[in-house]
Amino acid sequence: MRNNLCALLLLVLSGCSVQPARNHIYAVGYAPISLQQPAEHQQKLLHAMRASKMDAYRELTEQLSGVMTSSSSRMNSQILQDGTVSNSSRGVVRGARVVNSYPDGDMYVTELELDLAVYEKLRRGI
Q: The whole model's pTM is what?
A: 0.74
pLDDT at residue 5 tops 80 = no
pLDDT at residue 21 tops 80 = no
pLDDT at residue 12 tops 80 = no
The helix or strand, by DSSP H or E, that contains position 13, with its residue range, turns out to be helix 2-15
Please write the tens of the pLDDT for every residue from 68-125: 999 999 999 888 889 999 999 999 999 999 999 999 999 999 999 999 999 999 888 8
pLDDT of residue 20: 54
Provide CB contacts within 8 A for 63, sequence distance 6+.
25, 27
What average pLDDT is seen over the chain? Answer: 86
